[in-house]
Structure 1
Amino acid sequence: MMMLAQIVLYSWPLVAWFLFRKLRPEPALIATILLGYLFIPERVGYDPPLLPPINKHLMPLLCAAVGMWMIRRREALAAERAARRQAAAEGKPEAPRNRRPPRRHRSWITRIIPLITGVLLVNTVFTWQTNQEPIFYTTSVLAGIRPYDVGSMSLSVLTMLLPLWLGLRYLRSREAMTDLLKVLVWCGFAYSFLILWESRMSPRLNVQLYGFFAHSWIQHVRDGFRPIVFLAHGLRVGIFLAMAALAAAVLARNNTDGKRGRWLALALWLLFCLPISRNFGATMITFALMPVILFTPTRIQFVIGLVIAATVLIFPLARGSGLIPADRIVAAIMTINPERAGSLQFRLDQEDILLAKANQKPVSGWGGWGRSRVYNDDTGRDESITDGSWIIVIGTSGWIGYLGTFGLLCLPVILAALRFRRFELGTVESGTAIVLCANLIDLIPNSSLLPLIWLIAGTIWGRLIQTSTQLAENRAKDSKRAPHGRVRRAPERRPAVHSANSTPSNT
């Protein structure tokens, strides 16, 4: 059965080819990435030296990137051939082939992502410079970071940001953003039946189909069975269902395709499946944010998204200084679910230990090889459990890596909230920002920093860049006009007028 898992992974280019043949380019891009995340098994792939591992996360991204490049290349060649045929039919000279496209006016937003990407790449060098020494324990040794590891860390940064760039480049229109929400909803609807089956029959689909279980069995027994399907953990099933339910609410609020009732029914169905998946955190996030999407104005949605994104962006500072009322949160959850409150308290205790270790190298972190974890001095045994993505990132990459990584995720929501009137953003953009915020909240207790959240963030970035670029071009056009809307023209020379009886002067 392990052979079947390998076949599914390495035959994904054929699945991508089929999707690009049957769907429009934008939905095909989204479906290639999302279906690969949902159905390719975990723990399968090839890890070449220096290069990032080819697994269920990277393979769909590469297929989607190559597919979109081939389609755009084919469209460009077809447009060039059509232009040459039209020029030949009209008898015009053929334009040069390698002519550069006209320079476009771009806003300052277009410079943010390349700048942050460059900072993250430079930070890998800082991490190497400050972590070359090995760490010795009684029975074990943790290797130092080598120059060889700088290339590996840099490639990991680039592959992590690949879905962000795909969303930025190809999903920047409102129609493409709507396509993203639609594909997310329909994939969640299809996945919900597998989730219901595993919640009743136990999480065994991965075992029956591929021959192995992707995680610890004991963590998926919570007063019943917690579904895992083909993902790495049942918690990721929960946040995926939450995002699908919120996406359906966005489509219902926007009355997409004039079928509000259908989207509302799908939202209610996914909301019904969430408690059955036994994900307390994802369920609470959905119940808190779905009324915001359905009943609040666009401005309020952006304000709530701004507050959530800003809080996540400065969360380590707030957590370390005691601004986050952790004890009150645990006490409030204790009244609802004591078992979940105990689990949260355990995570908070682990975060305190790991945050103290991260503060020893706060700028660029400890790097890889498990150096950011806490070990017993006598036995060398690993005594830490890393759950939240935020503590993992700040431990391995420091504040530079944290602000760079979470800045790319939080800044599009913050900028959209600050400029939504000027950029004429509507309910689709505000709802997509709330969907992204749901995943941002989940990054605090869980490690769900996956390609889907990067794709959504890239879509919002692309929408901001598209609207800001259009405004910049409009301002450039308006700057050529007179103050009262009159176009500036060169003064015309009037010919001299002579009477019939006069003769022009020879001087």
Structure 2
Amino acid sequence: MGAFLFLPMSKIVFPLPLLPDITKGVVIAYGLLLGELISNKKLNSPLKLSIVDLPMLLFCIAVPLASSLSNGLGLYDGIVSIINNYLTYGVLFWAGRRYFNKPEDLRALTIGMVYGGLICVPLVIFEVRMSPQLHTLVYGFFQHSFLQHFRQGGFRPILFMSHGLMVALWMSITTTLCFWLWQSRSVKYFWKIPAGPTFFLLAISTILCKSAGAISFMLIGISSYFVYRRQSSFKHLKWLILLIPIYLYFRISNLITASVIESMAGNLFSDERVSSLMVRIMQEDLFGDKAALHPLFGWGWMDRAWPVDPGTGEVLVQMVDAFWIIIFSTKGFFGLITIYLALGFGSYSILFGMVKPNHFINLKSSPYKVDAVVLSIVITIFLYDTLLNGMVTPIYILCTGALTSCYTNCKTERFSETYTEEISINKIDIN
């Protein structure tokens, strides 16, 4: 988490063959692999792969290889793509599977993320007041367009991340985690600060990030607690994650057009926000048209998937934001399906009650009763964000692996010593 929050946003060209350039995400992956080698954790507690690992295995190995070969890019290019996918997604996912596979591990993860949000609070306030300067002060350069971080007559903080929207989502998610832990009385203090004031500090910082999307996600996360508390089940929360594949299907099939989205957004947000959204939708439409030419495995790499004018050869759009359209353009339907299955299965298994009654939670004695639930909510929020933005954050990939292990360990009754009461997960009492 420290690497995610404080390492610089830069790229160092790596001269060795096959290996990708050095970026923040690659450094984090190398750090995890080195830590595993030093701690010898792999030998002491080996990870047993199961059917739930298949989507990530396919995305890291089969999909990039098929994409390269189907585009005539050759085996070498396929191997490079495999390594890139493994370091970006696989290492983090399986680290979550291996190291956060017990109830107390999920608690450490949720509390650690709240602490990470608290660390960012003074930094957010500093950049809102003094302008986004921390990355420049520490590393000597600004990592993005300064103009994009001036919003509503003030500054949008960016800290040490790739964009202010990434900061906003991080603060939104940590606020949601804090709220659930506070309201469920699972945690009373964070660094001797009462949980209630901690929540309000995080919520104010989220608002100061000036992102309508992040504020909306925070409200979804908070309101989901009250929905669950009132219903005592996941009956309505299931729709949170179901809306993701529904949206993807409608967008790819063009059943939801740009004009429909513009009309709906106009009823909820300001003209400036709607204009920003429509730029993203226009990008999706252009990339979607190009991706439709290679629908199964995509174009391999983004430079080949970029839409251009057939007459002049000039690019039709300067940038692309949404994660889903990037994956669809480069890895096709198979890449899109496997990555969303891999990232969403853990949340899906919790929200749909796939963990059976006597496998999961002793509601009256467990101090960890909300962690898997709220992590499922915030990962669903992260997946919502991937429909708009392409800023995949290592900590969220780690969480998806942890939730997947929650499912597999419950199914094999590895939680049974802690959770034995035969009460369905759909009846968790978080009062």
- Smaller-chain TM-score range? 0.7 to 0.9
Q: CA, structure 1 residues 74+162, in 2 after alignment: closer, same or farther (shift >3 Å)?
A: closer
Q: 1:205 to 1:406 in 2, by over 3 A?
A: same
Q: Mind listing any 5+ residue stretches in structure 2 that lack a counterpart? A: 362-368, 418-431
Q: Identify the match of residue 371 of structure 2 among 417, 428, 436.
A: 428
Q: 1:448-480: CA deviations, max 9, x gaps?
A: 222121111011001111111117999xxxxxx
Deviation string, structure 1 residues 463-502 (Cα, Å, up to 9, x no partner): 111111117999xxxxxxxxxxxxxxxxxxxxxxxxxxxx
Q: 2:302 touches 2:329 (CA, 8 Å); kept in 1? A: no
TM-score scaled by length of structure 2: 0.85
The answer as to whether partners of 1:357 and 1:395 remain within 8 angstroms in 2 is: yes
Give the distance between the partners of 1:75 and 1:371, measured in 2 at CA. 42
Whichever residue aligns with residue 198 of structure 2, its letter is L
1:61-460 mapped onto 2 (5 Å cutoff): 61-73=29-41, 76=44, 110-114=50-54, 116-118=56-58, 120-132=60-72, 145-159=73-87, 160-223=89-152, 224-259=154-189, 262-294=194-226, 296-297=228-229, 302-324=234-256, 327-335=259-267, 336-384=269-317, 385-416=319-350, 417-422=352-357, 423-425=359-361, 426-460=369-403
Shift of 1:331: 3.1
CA distance in 2, matches of 1:459, 1:363: 30
1:164 & 1:355 partners in 2: Cα distance?
A: 28
**Distance in 2 of aligned mates of 1:240 and 1:119:** 25
Deviation at 1:407, TM superposition (A): 0.7
Q: Cα deviation per residue 1:92-146 (whole Å; 9 max; x = unaligned)?
A: xxxxxxxxx9xx9x9xx932214541364122232123212xxxxxxxxxxxx23
CA distance in 2, matches of 1:354, 1:399: 14
Please report how far the alpha carbon of residue 339 of structure 1 lies from its aligned counterpart in structure 2 after TM superposition: 0.3
Residues matched between the structures, number? 401
Identity %: 24
- Residue identity in the other structure for 1:146: G
Query: Is 1:47 aligned to 2:11, yes or no?
Result: no
Aligned equivalents of 1:302, 1:371: Cα separation in 2: 43
Residues 178-203 of structure 1 show CA distances to partners (whole Å, capped at 9, x for unaligned) of 11111111111111211111111111
Q: Is the 8 A contact 1:312 1:440 kept in 2?
A: yes
2:25 is the alignment partner of 1:57: yes
Structure 1 residues 222 and 472, CA gap change in structure 2 (3 angstroms):
closer
How far did 1:217 drift? 1.4
Rg larger for: 1
| Aligned counterparts of 2:55 and 2:323: Cα–Cα separation in 1 | 22
Q: Which runs of 4+ in 1 moved over 4 A?
A: 72-77, 257-261, 298-301, 322-329, 471-474
Q: Distance in 1 between matches of 2:230 and 2:109?
A: 19
Partners of 1:192 and 1:326 lie apart in 2 by 36
Aligned counterparts of 2:397 and 2:67: Cα–Cα separation in 1:
24
Letter in 2 for 1:350: Q
Tell me how far 1:254 sits from its aligned partner: 3.4
Structure 2 CA distance for partners of 1:367 and 1:70, relative to 1, 3 Å? same
Q: What is the RMSD of the two structures over their aligned residues, measured on CA atoms?
A: 2.8
Name the CA shift for 1:249/1:72 in 2 (closer, same or farther; >3 Å): farther
- Give me the whole-angstrom Cα distance separating, in 1, the residues matched to 2:277 and 2:42: 52
Greater Cα shift, 435-444 or 346-355: 346-355
1:16 corresponding residue in structure 2: none
Question: Which residue number in structure 1 is paired with residue 364 of structure 2?
Answer: none
* Segment of structure 1 superposing worse, 334-343 or 188-197: 334-343
- Do the aligned partners of 1:363 and 1:398 also contact (CA within 8 Å) in 2? yes
- Does the CA-based 8 Å contact 2:177-2:378 persist in structure 1? yes
Structure 2 counterpart of 1:291, which letter?
S
**Deviation of the 1:329 alpha carbon:** 4.6
- For normalisation by structure 1, the TM-score amounts to 0.73
Mapped pair 1:37 → 2:4: yes
- Report if the CA contact (8 A) 1:245-1:267 is conserved: yes
Stretches of structure 1 that go unaligned for 5 or more consecutive residues are: 1-33, 78-100, 133-144, 475-507
Q: Deviations over 1:328-378 (max 9, x none)?
A: 553343343110011111211221121111111111001115111101234
The one-letter amino acid paired with 1:406 is Y
